[in-house]
Amino acid sequence: MARGRKALIAGNWKMNGLLDDGVDRARGLLALVAAADRLSADIVLCPPATLLAILARELRGSPVALGGQDCHADDRGAHTGDVAAPMLADCGCRFVIVGHSERRADHGEKNALVRRKAEAAHRAGLVAIVCLGENQAERAKGRALAVVEKQLKGSLPKSADAANTVIAYEPVWAIGSGETATGEDIAAVHGHLRGLLDKRLGAAGAKVRILYGGSVKPANVAEILAIDNVNGALVGGASLDVDDFWAICRAAP
């Protein structure tokens, strides 16, 4: 665990959720949060952009934070269909995911663009959740550590610190597959990332939260969170089920 920091559990709804079921899902989670005796983790919901404004009203005043799934590298401009980081902050977001593997794969996003998006997030006062991860072919060739090292160095802006940046390691081959990296694999990558953060940020590197993402579910989350340098989880499919997501949140030490 990052010293002095709670675990962070972030739910990425991806391209799922219409108005009614999105509100119902958020209200269901808030009811469970309100009934809890304590929260051992910080919780973030990252719904589709169409739901951000309405969920901001639902989450206002609660311990559950709101996050975007992506942002543009520019603060404004002629970018049809994109959402700027200041817009996310304006509608109530505190976090934004950048560099998710699906953005890197489906939209061809490279490290330099991810870095610019993280910079934009920081300018807007948002916490950037910077995603990294190797694909199956890269892991098979024994290049997992080299890949995430290159991504971290290329994607992390000079403005990054423990207060405005979270790292999310998501082995691409595990996302949505039902497969999860072994404990040894996760420990190796997270330990390597921690060492890189220590070199980059000095003492502050120990306080940066490093999340694991990739088929996290109630059945495996406790084991994952017990691994050294795992400071939370980036949850995809399981975040769409209120009970499953709450079970994951409650598993944090």
Residues with a catalytic annotation lie at 100, 170
Nearest to 175 by CA among 105, 74, 86: 105
Query: Counting Cβ atoms within 10 Å, is residue 224 exposed (0-12), middle (13-18) or buried (19+)?
Result: buried
The number of C-alpha atoms within 13 Å of 42 and in the hemisphere containing its C-beta is 17
Residue 95's SS3 state is strand
- Would you mind telling me the total number of residues written for the chain in this entry? 253
Backbone angles phi, psi at 59, to 5 degrees: -90, -10
Q: What is the Cα–Cα distance from 43 to 117, expressed in whole angstroms?
A: 22
Sequence letter at residue 155: S
